[in-house]
Structures are given as structure tokens and as C-alpha cells.
Structure 1
């Protein structure tokens, strides 16, 4: 079963997809990535959600404002609005009688999940967190994204440009089909996961497309409560970056195992 809902928020209507029958004790809130990563991972995420639905879970997938089927254009929103979107959906799930949730964050969605974890937990108890290759620094994420613009402009024979500087001067710049404003860029740049993050619940971190835990991940999580943290590496493709990858069934069972505490 797949349903769609439009939820009113302060900035516009949010679109939320539901996979599976509503289950107050087995509910997952999916926070996807953004920009092209959202599009490239959509089919894989949907198949994972359908697999979990068959196991009795209900998966609610959020389209942040300015993305997917939600209202607004990307240049009209920022990360602060996206964080408010997540709180809005958490309150809505509580109104449905949901008793607790699992937060599932993919890439940039993982960053948002960790930043809003404490706030969400006050609204609706967070049973656990599942992270798929989470971003931990917004500025680093945007630096990589802006490289697409740099590579494209140099292929056109243009001179090298400091695109971050140009955007922050107030000029909107199109990057891979997305209009990036100074407000949006600054809001993402300012997001970062604390190295001393207090974990109120178990967190399973899937380090995808990696054979081992990288030094950056080890440093990021060194001070986290290791009793609550499990990091699992999976070799394979970085599907959020590569077009025409629509199947990652090797993640289906491990994801279910993580939710059931059996990894």
C-alpha cells in the first residue's frame, strides 16, 4: 500500500508518502537527501520502503519544501525551513497515534536527522536512528556540489570562478539544474553534526560504498556513546551519485536486521 498526503506547514504544503499500513509501534520517518542525490536514490529508497512495509513497518517519506512534490521552488527555501518541515511531520505522526518512530536518514537527510534528533525525541520518542552514508558537514557537502558547476563551466571553456563567493555576494547560480541562493547556501554551510553528540537512542550507521570505516567517520564518532552506536560498512556503488542504478536489494535484509537490533 502506498498513500500520499499534503500537510499544511507555515511555509507551504508538504508532501509525505506512506508505504505500508499505519503501525503505531513500527513507524519509520525517512529523511531523504537533496538535489540530484534525491532523484538518483528515489527508486532504491522506494524499494527498500516497500520491503520494510511487507515486514509490517509503515514508512513515511518526507519531501522537504522546494523538493519532490512539496510546494515552493528550491531558491525559496533553506535548511532552517527543512528542519521545521521535519518537526511538522513529527507532530502530525503523533496526531495519528504513532507511539514512537525510527528516523532513517539518507546522506543529507542523515545530517538533518542527527541535528533534529533531540527536538523530535521531545515530540515523539525516537526508538532508534538508521543512517545511510550520512553527511556530517553541510559546507563540505556543498563544496562537492559546487564542483559540478566548476567542472561544467571549465568544460565550456570558461575561466575558473569561485562559485561560493559569487552566490554569497547575492547572485543566484544554477548548479546541475538547481537554483542556489545565498540564503540556501549559507543555511546548509552552517549545518554540522557535533563530535560530542549525545545519543538518546541506538544509532546504526551504514557506511555505504566503503570497505572500512574511514578516518573521518572514526573522528566524527569517537566521543559518541559507543554502547548506542554501530557502524557497518558495505562495499558497492555510490548509488546516490550514479544514474541508472535502481536496485540495491543487498541492503534490504541488513536494514531490517538493524531495525530489529539483530546486526
Structure 2
């Protein structure tokens, strides 16, 4: 039976080195693969906790071992959000991979090294891709509604403070600066921490985030790309399609699927997307056919029907 274990571990010998981790696995049998989760950015992480927990338990029940870590300054890990840098978060992802492998070796000492997946959600996909580039061997990637550019993530986040000021939720901020985005930008340009929507943003984080791109790592493997939409089986957006084509051209085996469900990472109440849970487990359990991902979904489906 799959179980969940919560614990703290040190990724470095410093006051900021403690990380909160979760391990989902069935100790009675070696897993078919290791899945390392890379969570979303800021409040999107908190809104997504239930869905990530449900998916982790579903994958563990299906024979996978799932490692989750709150990155530096996030959740129950050490530090404040303002202590985080983009480089430190990439290092945390790499530490997660190493620790998950150590846990696997200790739990199933006779088992062969398992296949590895990095599961990135939203901005976590940017971190996962960058970490995959730094690893010495190929790693499969699972994306949940991936952010395509860190610059866009930062811009959207800075707008939260502007919206709060316009709604009168932050009277002090609105009286001292007409444009909260400009104020945060100015603080960051001075090398200061900018307070946005209750989070402290350090230049070391925003500089790396703003430069991040969803680029294909050099060592090709599989990419399972899952999006949520008002209806199932919709085509990817033009921007997403361009990225899918670029990854395919770089030698990656890419499979995209959209499923119906709410954008749970940004809803007011905590919501679930059951179809995404099912689609994710199915994606990791099945190997994609060699159908060009640059084709639209309708063309891909037609080719698969012919092949069947």
C-alpha cells in the first residue's frame, strides 16, 4: 500500500538549509519510476497543494515514487520568500533529484536505478527544464500548464499589487505610488527587496525568473505536456504550439493533451480537476506513439486511428 511520509532534510549546512519534503511510495515494491515535483510560484503553489497531493497519491498507487520539496523560502521550508534566488531554486531541484535517488537506493537496495521524471507546474516547469539541462543524463519531463517565459510570470505577479491598490486593499501603497508595478521595479533596480502581494521579491530571484525561458534541454527524452481548458481536446495556444514544435525539432518526444477543468492555481476557492489527475497518471503509464507533435491534435488523432 502506498503511504505518504513528511519530514525535514538539510540541503546545505546553514540556517537556510532545511527543506520540508514529502515522499509518496509503496515500500513493498520498487517503483516503476521516480517523479520529482517542482511546485508553482508564490500563491499558485498554495492554491495547488490539494491537486498536487491528490496526484502524488494517485501516482504512488500506480507504482511510482513521488518526491516533493518546498523550495527555499516557500511553504514549510527554511527562510523567507525574500531569501530565495532563482539559482538557489534550481539547486533545490537538483538536490531533490539526488535525495530522491538516495531514498530509492536505501529503500530498495537491490533495485536498478529507476527512470526519472521532473514534474513542473506553471513556473515550476521553467525550473524543471533548467534543472534537466544541468543533469548529466536524460530526464523525462511532465508539465502542468507550463509558463513559457519567466518574464510573463513576473509581470503577472507584479500586477497583483496594482490590482490591490486599485481595489483599495492597500491604501498606503496606493497613496505613495500610483503605479505599484513601477514602484516594485524601482525597488528591485536599486537592489532592494520589493513587497508584492505579501511576498518579498529579491533581485536575485526576479532577475533569474525574468530571464527564464522554456527551452528544451540538450539531452532528449519524453515530455508530457498537459493543459487545462474549458473543454477537453483543444489545440494548444499558438505560443504553446511554437514551443512544442521547437522541442520536437530539438529531438524531444512530445505529447500534448488538454483536459477540461478549472485553473485551480488561481481560483478563489480550492478546486479540483479530476480529469487532469486521470490524464497525468495515464500519460506516465503509456508510451506515446511516434507521431510528430508539431501536427495539430486532430491530425495526431487521425494518424493514431489509422495505425490502430
TM-score (norm 1): 0.90
The more displaced of 49-58 and 155-164 is 155-164
The more displaced of 229-238 and 159-168 is 159-168
Which SS does the other structure have where 2:269 is aligned? Answer: coil
Q: Which residue of 2 aligns with 1:64?
A: 71
What are the Cα deviations for residues 187-235 of structure 1, in whole angstroms up to 9, with x where unaligned?
Answer: 21121122x6545211011122363211111222322226601111123
The whole-number CA distance in structure 2 between the counterparts of 1:58 and 1:80 is 26
Q: Which residue of 1 aligns with 2:300?
A: none
**How big is the shift at 1:99?**
2.7
Q: Which residue of 1 aligns with 2:213?
A: 192
**How big is the shift at 1:121?**
4.8
Unaligned runs of 5+ in 2: 106-112, 289-308
**How big is the shift at 1:143?**
0.2
TM-score (norm 2): 0.78
Unaligned runs of 5+ in 1: none
1:147 maps onto 2:159 in alignment: yes
**How big is the shift at 1:160?**
2.2
Is the 2:7–2:20 Cα contact (8 Å) retained in structure 1? yes
**How big is the shift at 1:238?**
0.9
1:18 maps onto 2:23 in alignment: yes
Structure 1 runs of 4+ with >4 Å offset: none
**How big is the shift at 1:57?**
1.5
Aligned-residue CA RMSD in angstroms? 2.0
The whole-number CA distance in structure 2 between the counterparts of 1:118 and 1:200 is 10
The whole-number CA distance in structure 1 between the counterparts of 2:69 and 2:136 is 17
Give 1 or 2 for the bigger CA radius of gyration: 2
Q: Which residue of 2 aligns with 1:3?
A: 5
Q: Which residue of 1 aligns with 2:132?
A: 117
